Amino acid sequence: MNKNLYSYIHIPFCDQKCGYCRFASIWSTQKFQISKYVHSLVDEVRTSPLTPLLQERGIWVFVPPSPVGEGIQGWGYLKSIYFWWGTPSVLELSQIKMILDTMESKYCFDPDIEITLETTPINVTKENLQNWKKLWINRISMWVQTLSTKSLDEIWRGNKWDIIQALDLLQERWIDNISLDFIIGLPYVEKWEIKKDIEYILDAYSFIKHISVYLLEEYYNEDKIIETKYDKVTYPDDWNKLGIKDEDYLAEYREIKKFLKSRWFHSYEISNFSQPWYECKHNQAYWNHSQIVAFWLWAYWYTNWVRYRNSDSFNEYYKREKKVQELSNSEDLFLEKIMFQLRTSGIEQSLYSQLDTNKINLFIKDWYLKEENSVIKLEDKWVLVMDYILKEII
């Protein structure tokens, strides 16, 4: 584990809540509520007992030994801040500045800190881009999902022309590092349509550096693990009839991956593709079990081998009530390490002895897994059964 820190900032407000959303977020209709939340979040940052001691040239980090290894100590810096979850771009400039000023007063920013702001197309204006850049925001993640106006209308996401107008503004390069999100399986989107959308955008806007491609989450069912009330959100009954067939999800994903590779976007995680040197620092930190500090409603922290989660209730959050506080044991850390490695660069050879090698060899023989450069990787065509494979080999 490295000595640096990474931070999530959750803004649970949106211009309009999407039809498929299962996050703890609400419509941004009350400015007073947003203001109250931002002030509470800033206070949480300022008073957080988990913050390492701030020193003149950095943060002196001492992390006690983990259940599976030695502790660490030394100089560390805040390497990234990721504004996400709802629609962070709905915040006023002064509110974003307040949060970042407080973060800077608490932590030492790395000179190359990556600050990502997630946004919808309608919040991408010339004024916002200019002001965001002044606040050190140097990475924009914009939700596209699809260019189908009928689908966007169905999921309450504006229209195609909002997206095109936003891309035209982003092309002025106020901020260079741009990521776009897409979803396979939305209603009224035909087979290969998402691939065509990505092709069209990359042909017209060559400045895009990062693409995320997700599969529409499974429908809620009674067997689903319920952590919060938001896990019980259901889609309209006819959505599963209006999108592509289940067996076409994987085919589209594989074709998109093949196309992106031809445009020099490499897959550094199952759902994430980037041009060289533009991998999301924050994503990589999360998958590497780096020290994560998070400040928000429903925040998941991971520091000093302990996991925390804030409440998903506004009232409980304002009272600083935490739902989870548990020490990660060696088994948990190992399971997560295997899972993250299979999703990213592949399972390291040094870990084979702790796995079911007979099952691994069987999966390799049956073309579920492949051995490449001394790591075990998942074959693309079996992405949808990755959880099953993990269960079998661990």
Domains in the chain: boundaries: 5-287, 330-394
pLDDT at 381 over 80: no
Q: Would you say residue 321 has pLDDT above 80?
A: no
For the four alpha carbons of 284, 287, 301 and 40, in that order, the dihedral sign comes to positive
Q: Which two tokens stand for residue 133?
A: 């850049």
Q: What is the pLDDT of residues 39-51, one digit of tens each?
A: 999 998 888 754 4
Give the right CATH number for 5-287 from 3.50.50.60, 3.20.20.70, 3.40.50.300, 1.20.1090.10. 3.20.20.70
Q: Of all helices (H) and strands (E), which one includes residue 390? A: helix 386-393
According to the model, what pLDDT value does residue 62 have? 45
Mean pLDDT of the chain: 82
Residue 220 has pLDDT above 60, yes or no: no
pLDDT at 387: 80
Q: Which of 124, 210, 136, 135 is nearest to 172 (CA)?
A: 124
Task: Give the percent of the chain with pLDDT over 70.
Answer: 79
The arithmetic mean of pLDDT across residues 209-229, rounded, is: 67
Burial of 173 (0-12, 13-18, 19+ CB in 10 A): exposed
3-state class of 293 per DSSP? strand
CB atoms within 10 A of CB 323: 14
Model confidence pLDDT, tens digit, residues 234-293: 677 678 788 898 889 989 999 999 999 999 999 999 999 999 999 999 989 888 877 788
pLDDT of residue 138: 97
Which segment of 51-55, 57-61, 111-115 scores lowest on mean pLDDT?
51-55
Angle CA(203)–CA(208)–CA(213) in degrees, nearest 5? Answer: 90
Q: What is the mean pLDDT of residues 301-309?
A: 65
Under the banding of pLDDT at 50, 70 and 90, the label for residue 222 is very low
The C-alpha atoms of residue 283 and residue 290 are separated, in whole angstroms, by 10
115-157 pLDDT, tens digit each: 999 999 999 999 999 999 999 999 999 999 999 999 999 988 8
H or E stretch at 322 = strand 322-327
Residue pLDDT, tens place only, 166-209? 999 999 999 999 999 999 999 999 999 999 999 999 999 999 99
More confident of the two residues 260 and 224: 260
pLDDT score recorded for residue 108: 85
